[in-house]
Amino acid sequence: MVDISTRDEEQARERELAQEKERKEEQAREMEREKGRKQEQDRQRERELATEKGRKQGLEEERAREKRKSGMGTGIKVVIGVIVLALIVVAAAFLTLSVSVTNAAPGNALPFTTNYAVTFPEGQVITIGTTHITVLSFENELISDIDGDRQKLVVGEDRVISERRAVITTLGAVRLMDTNFLINLKYKGNRDNRAYFDMAIHTSQQVPEMLIRQLLPPEIAAQPI
């Protein structure tokens, strides 16, 4: 009886020990699962934080891009506005160019020369500044009338338009140039009812061709040479 009772007790203790061991192992597994859940939760929070950070960074970058675009757009608009204004001013200045020509005392230094090939229509009064010019061919000669002073010219002879003063202004009051000038015409012959000349314009200042052309009427078809 004693042996049987002892064996029962030992078996009971073994079962208790096994159960205790199983409980501890289950607790350990539960703790491990809890640890895994916490780690997964931490990783999830990190992913969410990273996603939120990325979203915020993306929004900031988008706002920065929009700001740069806006700034560039404003800058481009300003530049375009300045260019348009400059073009308007240039156009207004060009359209309001005017030349006032008056008599000048001869003898001034005229070191600058611009040369043109020109043709004069016969029998038509041409005005250069305040000078009126008419040419008419007769046989091998050309009769040139400059302000009522008539001279006959043959090929190779010169005719001089005496010294004048030209004041070029724009926008009604802005003075661009004030120069004395003298024009020398060398007769080159006649063709198709037009008299051909080499024309040299001598000036006291260097004058841009665009401004010199303000002196020259379109009827003479001047070409730089």
| Confidence category of residue 195, pLDDT binned at 50, 70, 90 | very high
Residue 5 belongs to domain spanning: 1-95
Same domain flag for 24 and 107: no
Same domain flag for 7 and 50: yes
**What is the count of structural domains for the chain?**
2
| Confidence category of residue 92, pLDDT binned at 50, 70, 90 | low
Residue 115 has pLDDT above 70, yes or no: yes
Specify the 3-state DSSP secondary structure of 177. Answer: strand
Same domain flag for 4 and 90: yes
pLDDT at 175: 82
pTM score, two decimals? 0.59
Residues linked to residue 175 through DSSP beta bridges, in sequence order: 169
pLDDT in tens, 17-41: 888 888 888 888 888 888 888 888 8
pLDDT at 65: 80
Residue 182 has pLDDT above 90, yes or no: yes
| Confidence category of residue 90, pLDDT binned at 50, 70, 90 | low
What is the rounded CA–CA span in Å between residue 140 and residue 142?
A: 7
Q: What percent of the chain has pLDDT over 70?
A: 92
Same domain flag for 106 and 194: yes
Same domain flag for 32 and 62: yes
Contact between 181 and 204 (Cβ < 8 Å): yes
Residue 101 has pLDDT above 80, yes or no: yes
CB contact set of 176 (below 8 Å; sequence gap of 6+): 97, 168, 169, 170, 211
Same domain flag for 117 and 140: yes
